[in-house]
Structure 1
Amino acid sequence: MAAPVLETENLVKIYGRGDTRFDALKGINLEIGKGESVAVVGKSGSGKSTLMHLLALLDAPTHGVVALEGRPTGDLGAKELNELRNSAFGFVFQQFFLTPNQSVLENVTLPLKIAGVPASERKRRGLEALEQLEMADKADNKATDLSGGQKQRVVIARALINDPSVIFADEPTGNLDSATSKVVEDILFGLNRDKGITLVVVTHDEDLAQRCSRQIYLVDGQIVPSPEKPASDVAPGSPAHPWAQQPAEAAAETLQVTEPATGEVVTISQADAAEIARAAQEPPRPGKHAAPAPTPEQPGATA
């Protein structure tokens, strides 16, 4: 994998206390390489959006480290975090978050305005970004005048305006029809391919996830191997899939379990259940950023 642009070590996020406590993430360790396209996949309540918010520096972890380009971000002040987030990241959300009564150009150039870029430069760069998305002719239109697909193109243009190293896309096609969704997906993956922008897609859509070069599956706040990937699909020279060693008859036997985060009853194989249980007991790895594993006295520890 390419040098990591984003890393986490022993990442924990907890909401609430006592009876209302919810452990959204439980010691996540991962690396995302420069220029990768990565899908974070999981059901509602699995922790995938929480993980994206921490990776994008939109929220702070309860415990653990998020590093950008090898630099831990936990000690950065609010001003430095805002500047870093504005310059390094672009965001594409299911909800467009466009200001309805402002023009398309004003919406696209908002990150530049926040960064203090002069008006003439904002306009030049904004029109250039809209041109890439074939939306320059809509620059003076109000956001309310656009179709769903056009709005998402404007959002992508806004995400590109600061020449980001990473674009986060949270259910980017959730509000679009299938034909428009494919157009938007093609744009995002084209930017990843042609410009080398790292693409992190958060989704429950398996078809969208499979377009990415790698998938990260979350179940109840923990990363698990994909239950969909048989041993025959493992590339030569890569580590064998953890479940490839399970006898076929064991892998085929299923049971129903309740996800603690959502209360939803799901069907998984016995082999999957055994692997998830094993992963839950495995202590977090020591990392190069020296994020210690949670202890019973610290948030994120399990009894």
Structure 2
Amino acid sequence: MSTPVLETENLVKVYGKGATRFDALKGLTFEIHEGESVAIVGKSGSGKSTLMHLLALLDEPTSGVVALGGEPVTALKPKKVSQLRNATFGFVFQQFFLNPNQTVLENITLPLKIAGVGKSERNRRGMEVLEQLDMADKAKNKATNLSGGQKQRACIARALVNRPTVLFADEPTGNLDTATSEIVEDILFGLHRDHGITLVVVTHDEDLAGKCQRRLMMQDGEIHAEEHGATGVHA
């Protein structure tokens, strides 16, 4: 088995106190291995999005440990956590979070700008991923002029531009029609298959989850079942 790229130990997340206390995660311990495709599956309120935010270092646990490449990150300073997140992870969200008045190229190279990469290198790497996703002809278009499928491709390009180890996809097809969803799924699983990117998909879509090698089934803040074996594109 490959090295765990992400690990958790007794991961707990609590919101509120007293009568308003809500235990979103109730002590989760598991591993995600390098090059694996994993779906975190559950209904609204099951804790799946909370778990993704903790794994992706977008939030801190109430208690417990998140480790990246075997090193606990829970105790690191915020600046170091931000640097790790920007260098290691790519994000594809249901809501596209594109700046409508910037060009596609400007949108997708934002992570490189944050990382301090020079403009010419940013643009070179940005065009590289746009070509990979058949979006090079849209580089100078304003994001507001793209279709839903094109916006999601732009989001995937932005997620890939920093050459991430782990790609998080949170309901990546939630706002797309069936045909466009299939195209986006093919892109995501193609990246996993061809480039060895670790893919973590958060979804309530059983068909999408079924294409992953492993599925963590969440309910009431706990992993109540685990399933193995992909039936989809890279089985």
| TM-score (norm. length: structure 1) | 0.74
Letter in structure 1 aligned against 2:64:
G
What does residue 232 of structure 2 align with?
none
RMSD over aligned Cα atoms: 1.1
What does residue 33 of structure 1 align with?
33
Once the two structures are superposed, what CA deviation does each residue of 1:26-80 show, in whole Å capped at 9, x if it has no partner?
0001100000000000000000000000000000000000000000001111111
Deviation of 1:194 after TM superposition, in Å, equals: 0.4
CA distance in 1 between partners of 2:2 and 2:128 (Å)? 29
Describe how 1:10-21 pairs up with structure 2 within 5 A: 10-21=10-21
Letter in structure 1 aligned against 2:182:
K
Question: How many residues get paired?
Answer: 229
Letter in structure 1 aligned against 2:62:
T
What does residue 93 of structure 2 align with?
93
Deviation of 1:3 after TM superposition, in Å, equals: 1.3
Letter in structure 2 aligned against 1:41:
V
Query: Which of these two proteins has the greater Rg computed from alpha carbons?
Result: 1
What does residue 83 of structure 1 align with?
83
CA distance in 2 between partners of 1:179 and 1:2 (Å)? 34
What does residue 143 of structure 1 align with?
143
Letter in structure 1 aligned against 2:37:
S
What does residue 9 of structure 2 align with?
9
Once the two structures are superposed, what CA deviation does each residue of 1:210-252 show, in whole Å capped at 9, x if it has no partner?
00000000110001125xx7xxx99xxxxxxxxxxxxxxxxxx
Match of 2:61, SS state, is coil
CA distance in 2 between partners of 1:207 and 1:165 (Å)? 25
CA distance in 2 between partners of 1:54 and 1:75 (Å)? 13
Which ranges of structure 2 fall in alignment gaps of 5 or more residues?
230-235
CA distance in 2 between partners of 1:225 and 1:163 (Å)? 32
Deviation of 1:149 after TM superposition, in Å, equals: 0.3
Deviation of 1:161 after TM superposition, in Å, equals: 0.4
CA distance in 1 between partners of 2:21 and 2:130 (Å)? 44
Once the two structures are superposed, what CA deviation does each residue of 1:253-288 show, in whole Å capped at 9, x if it has no partner?
xxxxxxxxxxxxxxxxxxxxxxxxxxxxxxxxxxxx
Which ranges of structure 1 fall in alignment gaps of 5 or more residues?
235-303
Describe how 1:1-303 pairs up with structure 2 within 5 A: 1-225=1-225
Runs of 4+ deviating beyond 4 Å: none
| TM-score (norm. length: structure 2) | 0.96
Deviation of 1:95 after TM superposition, in Å, equals: 0.2
Once the two structures are superposed, what CA deviation does each residue of 1:145-193 show, in whole Å capped at 9, x if it has no partner?
0000000000000000010000000000000000000000000000000
Once the two structures are superposed, what CA deviation does each residue of 1:118-167 show, in whole Å capped at 9, x if it has no partner?
00100100000101000010000000000000000000000000100000
CA distance in 2 between partners of 1:79 and 1:26 (Å)? 28
